[in-house]
Every structure is written in structure tokens, then in C-alpha cells.
Amino acid sequence: MFAIISDIHSNLEALTTVLADIEKRGIKTIYCLGDVLGYAANPIECLDLVIDKTEICLMGNHDYAALYEPTNFNQGAESAAYWARKVLEQETDHEKSDKRWRYLGQQKMRWTLETKLKNVKATLDFVHASPRRPINEYVFPDDVYTTTGKMNALFERVKHICFVGHTHLPGVFLEDPDFYTPDELGGKYPIIPDEKAIINVG
Ligand SMILES: [Fe+2]
């Protein structure tokens, strides 16, 4: 069993609460879909915890912004990215500093896991944003009604299951296209052979 977390955005209180819940459930393997940085007050503490506790962490647009440059950010988000960069640069322990920058620099944009979930063979893709543009593209629930062409193009790039974050709106997109909130699904989505899904973990 594994847990997927995403969009921590330097929020240490939220991250420690979620990690404690994961530990309470006895789950040892954690994957992170990125955006460790941005917005809140504890970029370093959050990054260190992610490095320590997760098996893999994908590159999010806010991580990219702190490492390279902000792309289509509003003023607040851009300031937060530059501030996170400054805080990371202020580290006087070179070993710690190198470890963090190297980790950010080696984050993947996409990662695939072939596995079995409850005896169902599953191909799991992990990205921060969307299967088409893994760092920056927003996939909103409304897209299933307003831009079905976009949804078709996204599902063409999905082999089976694709986990995303980025919008902070949890739920499951199916190929119809359709979108189901966690409430509508009773908090569960069974992995079905040959049924494609884009699952936003929130
Ligand atoms: Fe994001």
C-alpha cells in the first residue's frame, strides 16, 4: 500500500498532520506529486521532510519557479517563489544546502509504476499537473463540460491511471469525459482493468 501527497506549498502544519495520519494507517511508502514549495512559511522544513519521508517527488510549477523561473505566476506566487529561493540560499551548512538543491534539480516531471493493486494489473503514471503538460497545465472539473477536446487529448496520453495534483481539487476524471468528487465516490475509486482515469489527489 502507498500514500500520495501533493501541493504542500511550504505548509509544515498541514504536512506533519498528513504524515502522522499516513503513519497511523501503517503506510510506509509515500509518493509526492510536487509543489513542495510556494506560498506558506516553511519551505526548508517541508523540503527536508519530503526528502526524508517520500520515495519520489515529482517537479511542480512552484518547485520549478524556485529552482529556475516562475511561469505565468501572479505577483503573490512569484514573490513566494523568490522568497523560497532566498531562504534556501541563506542556508550556511553547505552539505544541507547542496543536498536540497540537488534534490530539487533531480526531480522528475513524470514517473511510471507498473504494479498490481488488489490483484488488478495497473500502470500508474505520476505527474504534478497533467499528462500533456506535466508541470503547468490545469485540469479543472469544468473542463469535462467546457473543453471536451482538451479532455480527449489528455486521455490519449493516459495508458491506465494518471495521478495529478496542482488544482487542489480532488476527484476522478473518467474518459466519457466525466468528473466525480470524493463525496460522489464515497471516498473510494476502484482501479478497473482497461478503464482510464485521471485521479487528482487534491
Ligand atoms: Fe502546482
- Residue 196 Cα to ligand 1 midpoint, Å, equals 23
Predicted confidence at residue 118, as pLDDT, reads 87
- Residue 7 Cα to ligand 1 midpoint, Å, equals 6
Domains and CATH numbers, the chain: 2-105 (3.60.21.10), 110-200 (no CATH)
- Residue 166 Cα to ligand 1 midpoint, Å, equals 4
Predicted confidence at residue 34, as pLDDT, reads 98
Predicted confidence at residue 38, as pLDDT, reads 95
- Residue 119 Cα to ligand 1 midpoint, Å, equals 32
10-residue block means of pLDDT along the chain (202 residues)?
A: 97 98 98 97 97 98 97 95 97 97 98 93 97 97 95 97 98 97 96 95 94
- Residue 178 Cα to ligand 1 midpoint, Å, equals 22
Which residues are within 8 A (CB) of 33 and not within 5 positions of it... i.e. 6 or more apart?
Answer: 4, 5, 6, 7, 57, 58, 60, 126, 127, 128, 163, 164, 165, 166, 201
- Residue 152 Cα to ligand 1 midpoint, Å, equals 22
